[in-house]
Structure 1
Amino acid sequence: MINKFSQDIAEALADVPDAATVLLGGFGAVGQANLLIEGLLETGVSDLTIVANNAGYGKIGLARLLREGRVRKLICSYPRIVGSTIFEELYGAGKLELELVPQGTLAERMRAAGAGIPAFFTPTGAHTLLSEGKEIRDYNGLPHVLEQALHGDVALIEAWEADRWGNLTYRDAGRNFNPVCAMAAKLTVAQTQHVRELGELNPEHIVTPGIFVDRIVHIPCGDPVG
């Protein structure tokens, strides 16, 4: 019987290795799997490459992961947002590598990884600092830069509903980067607020099929986040 639910966060994250590339769903505070990120801290892993929309906020989740010195490199679109003081301190002190990627390109690089596409050309960022060292070609009279698919060792995502096969739904803006992160990782772990029986989810509402999900942890609504 297929049942992808783990007993707890520790079990779900037990084999995440050092130096892993970790894809984080979420847009700011919305749809980010903060309890899984906090659980990642408890495993003791370090030297991580984190891929996320932003650099975290306050002192929880990704920001805490940065503060504890577990992250070597950050790949993101918006490293400076309200409350991203920990990133600013670390980057200013030369303790953190940063790769800036336009938001649409970031999403497409992960989607490409999940779809088996090794690279693609996009006009975004061509002939700017973001395209330095990358191949550029002209298409229809416009310069396009070659971007590589972005694979993850692990993806930590948040869902609204899940069944034991790993089929997931999302609530409103909580969908954001979560589906493409799930597609692009070797190991995808989801925290879900609600558990549904097989057949209870409307197939038209399932955004992430269970084939992309390896483990699930039930985090009921109202549980504390760090």
Structure 2
Amino acid sequence: MALDKVRSSAAEAVADVPRGASLAVGGFGLCGIPMVLIDALLERGVDELSVVSNNCGVDDWGLGVLLAAGRIRKMTSSYVGENREFARQYLSGELELELTPQGTLAEKLRAGGSGIAAFFTQTGVGTQVADGGLPQRYAADGSVALASPPKPVQTFRVAGREREFVLEEAITTDFALVHALRGDRHGNLVFDKSARNFSPLAAMAGRVCIAQVEHLVEPGELDPDAVHLPGVFVDRIVVVGPGVEKRIERRTVREEA
């Protein structure tokens, strides 16, 4: 692993992402979206992608631009609203969806990055998450072409009570794409407030992690206690500058009194 992980451009950083690759992508709504890297993938033309992310952006921003171009084959997400094209592709059978509870999705990514194969959780017990039957892909006629399989459920005694837990497998992907506020040449990253969201977990889960950063600093300039993601998890860095475009998903204002 190279010590200086900075790449000259986003195009160079994603140049080896192949057709059919799996990606873990940071972001929540439109907060913390690695848009420059997503645009570079769009420009490159790779398709049949399997993407793990909390959501799929909106129709013209975030992962939504890859979806609109027909580049995504499967999404593993916890929230699928705010995107009409997503709904259209899913209901018409063009897109496969593995719908996952939000906390479970976060833990599946963290577990994958930590070398943990699977874990038990109470979330989803007694629902189709555990029992199976969630539509993952529809046929053109509206019937269910692929449904989620049942998952193992086991009883454990916790806090003096017998409780059921469902087994969830960890997630690892070929690549991870994240956005950070600061990073050094060794790949240590600092995220900005809520833009931290899923990004450290997605970065951990990717075998090759590519980070776009607003500010690049030299090794030693970051306070070790302030580092949110150690450089051992990061393979490539692209500097996008503090002026990179950021969008607000929904702006709500109060009338002046």
Q: TM-score surpassing 0.5?
A: yes
Amino acid at match of 2:84: T
1:165-218 Cα shifts (integer Å, max 9, x gaps): 000001100111110111111110000000111111010000111100000000
Name which of 139, 156, 168 aligns with 1:139. 156
Report which of the two structures shows the higher radius of gyration computed on alpha carbons. 2
Q: Are 2:217 and 1:196 equivalent residues in the alignment?
A: yes
The two structures, once aligned, show a CA RMSD in angstroms of: 1.3
Q: In the alignment, which residue of structure 2 is the partner of 1:49?
A: 50
- With normalisation by structure 2, the TM-score equals 0.85
Q: 2:63 aligns to what SS in structure 1? A: helix
Report the Cα distance in structure 2 between the residues aligned to 1:150 and 1:143, rounded to whole angstroms.
22
Maintained 8 Å contact 1:192/1:216: yes
Amino acid at match of 1:159: A
Maintained 8 Å contact 2:189/2:228: yes
Q: 1:186 aligns to what SS in structure 2? A: strand
Maintained 8 Å contact 2:19/2:48: yes
Maintained 8 Å contact 1:38/1:60: no
Deviation of the 1:108 alpha carbon: 0.4
Deviation of the 1:5 alpha carbon: 0.5
Report the Cα distance in structure 2 between the residues aligned to 1:95 and 1:64, rounded to whole angstroms.
16
Report the Cα distance in structure 2 between the residues aligned to 1:93 and 1:195, rounded to whole angstroms.
44
Deviation of the 1:61 alpha carbon: 2.4
Q: 1:147 aligns to what SS in structure 2? A: strand
Maintained 8 Å contact 1:53/1:103: yes
Deviation of the 1:79 alpha carbon: 0.7
Maintained 8 Å contact 2:59/2:68: no
Q: Are 2:173 and 1:168 equivalent residues in the alignment?
A: no
Deviation of the 1:91 alpha carbon: 1.0
Deviation of the 1:225 alpha carbon: 6.3
Report the Cα distance in structure 2 between the residues aligned to 1:208 and 1:108, rounded to whole angstroms.
16
Q: Are 2:51 and 1:30 equivalent residues in the alignment?
A: no
Give ranges in structure 2 of 5+ residues lacking alignment. 133-149, 248-257
Amino acid at match of 2:231: G
Number of equivalenced pairs: 224
Q: Percent identity?
A: 45
The structure 1 segments of at least 4 consecutive aligned residues displaced by more than 4 Å after TM superposition are: none
Q: In the alignment, which residue of structure 1 is the partner of 2:79?
A: 78
Q: 1:127 aligns to what SS in structure 2? A: coil
Maintained 8 Å contact 1:19/1:48: yes
Moved more, 55-64 or 143-152: 55-64
1:114-135 Cα shifts (integer Å, max 9, x gaps): 1111000100001211112110
Amino acid at match of 2:32: G
Report the Cα distance in structure 1 between the residues aligned to 2:70 and 2:203, rounded to whole angstroms.
25
Q: 1:61 aligns to what SS in structure 2? A: coil
Maintained 8 Å contact 2:214/2:241: yes
Q: In the alignment, which residue of structure 2 is the partner of 1:117?
A: 116
Q: In the alignment, which residue of structure 2 is the partner of 1:186?
A: 207
Maintained 8 Å contact 1:20/1:48: yes
Maintained 8 Å contact 1:153/1:187: yes
- With normalisation by structure 1, the TM-score equals 0.96
Maintained 8 Å contact 1:35/1:61: no
Deviation of the 1:18 alpha carbon: 1.1
Report the Cα distance in structure 2 between the residues aligned to 1:42 and 1:130, rounded to whole angstroms.
36
Amino acid at match of 1:223: V
